[in-house]
A = this chain, B = another copy of it.
Amino acid sequence: MQKSDTISSLRKISVATLATALFKRGLRNQVIQGVHPLTQNGENMVGPAFTLRYMPAREDRNGLDVFLDPDHPQRKAIETCPPGSVMVIDSRKDARAASAGDILVTRLMKRGGAGIVTDGGFRDASSIGQLDMPAYHQRPSPPTNLTLHEAIEINGPIGCGDAPVFPGDIIVGDDDSVIVVPAGIAGEIALEALEMTLYENFVIERVREGASITGLYPQTDPAIKKQFNEWKSNIANRF
């Protein structure tokens, strides 16, 4: 699968289905725990991870004047994140001070960012929620990042919400949550999860019609397999 096809497939797959596909391969901790979208719009965020790591702030290194330096890692990260990427921030799950605010997130959007995720919180969260780029966090947090966080590394391996994130891993977010798909298996996971999604769509239609889940979910009844194949060929030109 080409990378662009992978990205495009992942737009149609829920984080829950991806979590199950990864679970099959023994990966149990890829969901970024404790984050939610600032706004639910029914569309997926998808893109390779570009990371930023915060460490605890030491007061003498984190006065407001540090931002006079155009190479300050927080600002530089925003200005160098490649278009199409999702910025993922390791804030040590500490939402008592902000990870970023609406000016930086707007700039990221204008530069073509595909989204932003922190396991801490955003300031100006209600403004960020109105932007045309998805953002995920734990809770709104007005204090400047300097209060507790020092941006220390751009695009290294990090933890975010207890999940491991390596630069280039494919980040997928839906209306519920965010998951990290390891770069090396993103294509095969996308393919498999697409097939799973198709079957789940079939199942949910049957269940809405009144079918029992026995034999249907998971599929153990050969008659259902046949029904599914028919259903699939019927929708082939729709989906």
Provide the A201-225 mask, 1 if CB < 8 A to any CB of B, else 0. Answer: 0011001101011110110100000
* Beta-carbon contact of A27 and B104 below 8 Å: no
* Beta-carbon contact of A164 and B56 below 8 Å: yes
Q: A23's contact among B125, B143, B203, B210, by CB below 8 Å, is which?
A: B143
Tell me how many chains of this kind the complex includes: 6
Enumerate chain B residues within 8 angstroms of A26, measured Cβ to Cβ. 26, 59-60
Q: Does A45 contact B (CB under 8 A)?
A: no
* Beta-carbon contact of A24 and B64 below 8 Å: yes
**What 7 A-B pairs have minimum CB-CB distances, sorted nearest first?**
A140-B176, A126-B175, A16-B123, A16-B142, A15-B142, A56-B164, A56-B159
- Closest Cβ–Cβ distance, residue A52 to chain B (whole Å): 14
The CA-CA distance from A140 to B37 in the complex, in Å, is 11
Residues of chain A whose beta carbon lies under 8 Å from any beta carbon of chain B: 14-16, 18-20, 23-31, 33-34, 36, 40, 42, 55-61, 64, 67-68, 70, 75, 78-79, 92, 94, 96, 98, 101-104, 106-107, 110, 123-126, 139-144, 146-147, 150, 152-153, 156-159, 162-164, 174-177, 179, 182, 200, 203-204, 207-208, 210, 212-215, 217-218, 220
Residue of B nearest to A200 (CB): B103
Residue of B nearest to A182 (CB): B58
Enumerate chain B residues within 8 angstroms of A210, measured Cβ to Cβ. 110
- Closest Cβ–Cβ distance, residue A99 to chain B (whole Å): 12
A-B pairs with beta carbons under 8 Å apart, 5 shown: A16-B143, A16-B144, A55-B164, A92-B92, A142-B179
* Beta-carbon contact of B208 and A56 below 8 Å: no
Enumerate chain B residues within 8 angstroms of A101, measured Cβ to Cβ. 16
Residue of B nearest to A57 (CB): B164
Residue of B nearest to A30 (CB): B58
* Beta-carbon contact of A146 and B207 below 8 Å: no
Q: A107-B213, A142-B177, A152-B157 are in contact. List 11 more A-B contacts (CB 8 A).
A: A15-B142, A16-B144, A26-B26, A26-B60, A27-B58, A29-B56, A29-B57, A58-B164, A67-B218, A103-B203, A106-B208
- Closest Cβ–Cβ distance, residue A121 to chain B (whole Å): 9
